[in-house]
A and B are shown apart, each in its own frame.
Chain A
Amino acid sequence: MYQTFVGLEIHIHLNTATKVFCGCKAHFGDEPNTNVCPVCMGYPGVLPVLNQHALELAYTVSLALGCQLSHRTLFDRKNYFYPDMPKNYQITQFHEPVGQNGSIEFALADGTTKKVRIHDVHLEEDAGKMIHAGDMTLVDYNRAGYSLLEVVTEPDLASGEETEAFLQAFQRVVRYLGVSDGNMEEGSMKCDTNVSINKAGAGLGTKVEIKNLNSSRFVKKAIEHEQKRQAAVLEAGNKVSQETRLWNENRDVTETMRTKEGGLDYRYFPEPDLPPFVPDASFLKRIQDAQVELPLARKQRLVREFGLSREQADFVTDARFTADFFEQAVRASAASGGSAMANWLMGDVQKELNHFNLTLEACPLTAGRLASLQSLLDAGRIHTKIAKQLLVSIFEEDKDPETLLQEKGLESIATEQQLAPIVESVFSAHPNVVAAVKAGDARQKGFLVGQVMKATGGRAAPDLVNALLAKFLA
Chain B
Amino acid sequence: MDPTFETRWSQFSAKKQAYLAYARPMEQKVGSFLTYRPDVEAPQAGALQGLPFAVKDNIAVKNFPLTCGSRMLETLVSPYTATAVARLQAAGAVVIGKTNLDEFGMGSSTDLSALGKTNNPWDFSRVAGGSSGGSAAAAAAGLVSFALGTDTGGSVRQPASFCGVYGLKPTYGTVSRYGMTAYASSLEVMGIASKSLALTEKVYGVMKGRDPHDQTSLDPAPGVARAVKTIAVLDGLTDLEPAVQRAYEATLDHLKALGYRLLPVHLGTLDYAVPAYYTIATAEASANLARFNGIRYGLRPEYAENPEDLIRKSRTAGFGDEVKIRIMLGTYVLRSGFQDQYYTKAQKVRTAIRNDLQKVFDQADLLMTPTFPTRAFVHGDRSMTPYQQKLADKFTVTANLAGIPALSFPAGLEEGLPVGMQFMAPAFEEGRLFEAAAKFATRVAAPDCPGTSLDWSK
Contacts and interface: CB of A to CB of B under 8 A. Distances in A.
Interface of A: 38, 41-50, 77, 79, 81, 83, 86-89, 139, 265-269, 272-275
26 contacts: A44-B182, A45-B59, A45-B177, A48-B215, A79-B286, A79-B287, A81-B293, A81-B307, A81-B311, A83-B295, A83-B307, A88-B291, A139-B295, A266-B336, A267-B331, A267-B336, A268-B336, A269-B343, A272-B186, A272-B216, A273-B177, A273-B182, A273-B185, A273-B214, A273-B215, A274-B216
Contacts of B286: 79, 267
Interface in B158-181: 177-181
B47 interface: no
Nearest to B80: A38
A297 B190 CA distance: 55
B197 to A, nearest CB: 28
Contact of A50 (B215, B296, B308, B331): B215
A139 B307 CA distance: 13
B37 to A, nearest CB: 20
Contact of A273 (B58, B82, B216): B216
A94 B214 CA distance: 22
B266 interface: no
Contact of A269 (B68, B73, B283, B311): B283
B58 A44 contact: yes
Interface in B45-92: 58-60, 66, 68, 73, 76, 78-80, 82
B290 interface: yes
B291 A44 contact: yes
A45 B60 contact: yes
A45 B182 contact: yes
A42 B296 contact: yes
A267 B60 contact: no
B152 to A, nearest CB: 12
A18 to B, nearest CB: 14
The winner among A38, A88, A266 for most chain B CB atoms within 10 A is A88
Interface residues of B, number: 43
A73 to B, nearest CB: 14
Nearest to A79: B287
A45 B296 contact: no
B213 interface: yes
A218 B220 CA distance: 55
Given A83-B295, A269-B339, A269-B343, A44 B215 contact: no
Given A79-B290, A79-B334, A269-B283, A41 B73 contact: no
Interface in B287-319: 287, 290-291, 293, 295-297, 307-308, 311
B450 interface: no
Nearest to B212: A49
A44 B186 contact: no
A126 to B, nearest CB: 16
Contacts of A77: 287
Nearest to B79: A38
Interface of B: 58-60, 66, 68, 73, 76, 78-80, 82, 177-182, 185-186, 212-216, 283-284, 286-287, 290-291, 293, 295-297, 307-308, 311, 331, 334-336, 339, 343
Given A269-B343, A274-B215, A44 B296 contact: no
A272 B185 contact: yes
B82 A45 contact: yes
A266 B214 CA distance: 25
B178 A45 contact: yes
Contacts of A50: 215
A266 B76 CA distance: 28
Contacts of B284: 269, 272
Instruction: Give the interface centre of A42, A81, A86, A275 by most chain B CB atoms within 10 Å.
Output: A81
Nearest to A42: B291
A44 B76 contact: yes
Contact of B66 (A45, A48, A139, A268): A45
A43 B182 CA distance: 10
Contacts of A273: 177, 182, 185, 214-216
Contacts of A139: 295-296
Nearest to A87: B291
Nearest to A41: B296
A265 B339 CA distance: 12
Given A38-B80, A47-B213, 16 more contacts: A38-B79, A44-B73, A45-B60, A45-B177, A45-B182, A46-B178, A46-B213, A47-B178, A49-B214, A83-B295, A86-B296, A267-B334, A267-B336, A273-B177, A273-B215, A273-B216
A331 to B, nearest CB: 47
A44 B185 contact: no
Which 8 interchain pairs have the tightest Cβ spacing?
A88-B290, A267-B334, A272-B186, A272-B185, A44-B181, A45-B179, A45-B60, A89-B287
A49 B215 CA distance: 6
Contact of A44 (B212, B214, B297, B343): B297
A90 B312 CA distance: 20
A93 to B, nearest CB: 16
Contacts of B296: 41-42, 86, 139
Nearest to A277: B215
Nearest to B331: A267
A248 to B, nearest CB: 20
- Chain B CB count within 10 A is highest, among A43, A49, A50, for A43
A43 B290 contact: no
B291 A45 contact: no
Contacts of A44: 58, 60, 66, 68, 73, 76, 78, 181-182, 291, 297
Nearest to A271: B185
A8 to B, nearest CB: 23
Contacts of A49: 212-215
A273 B180 CA distance: 12
A84 B73 CA distance: 19
Contacts of B177: 45, 47, 273
Given A43-B79, A275-B215, A88 B73 contact: no
Contact of A43 (B60, B215, B287, B308): B60
A86 B334 CA distance: 21
A78 B364 CA distance: 42
Given A267-B336, A273-B215, A43 B80 contact: yes
B296 to A, nearest CB: 5
B151 to A, nearest CB: 15
Contact of A47 (B214, B295, B343): B214
B343 A87 contact: no
A269 B212 CA distance: 24
A87 B288 CA distance: 8
B139 to A, nearest CB: 22
A253 B185 CA distance: 45
B181 A89 contact: no
A132 to B, nearest CB: 12
A249 B163 CA distance: 66
Contacts of A42: 291, 296-297
A454 to B, nearest CB: 76
A45 B85 CA distance: 13
Contact of A89 (B68, B186, B290, B307): B290
A44 B67 CA distance: 10
B87 to A, nearest CB: 15
A267 B335 contact: yes
Nearest to B182: A45
A49 B73 CA distance: 25
A86 B291 CA distance: 6
A79 B336 CA distance: 12
Nearest to B181: A44
Tell me which of B82, B293, B295, B343 has the highest count of chain A C-beta atoms within 10 A of its own C-beta.
B295
A266 B215 CA distance: 25
B334 A269 contact: yes
B185 A45 contact: no
A41 B73 CA distance: 15
A423 B400 CA distance: 102
B212 to A, nearest CB: 7
B182 to A, nearest CB: 7
B287 A265 contact: no
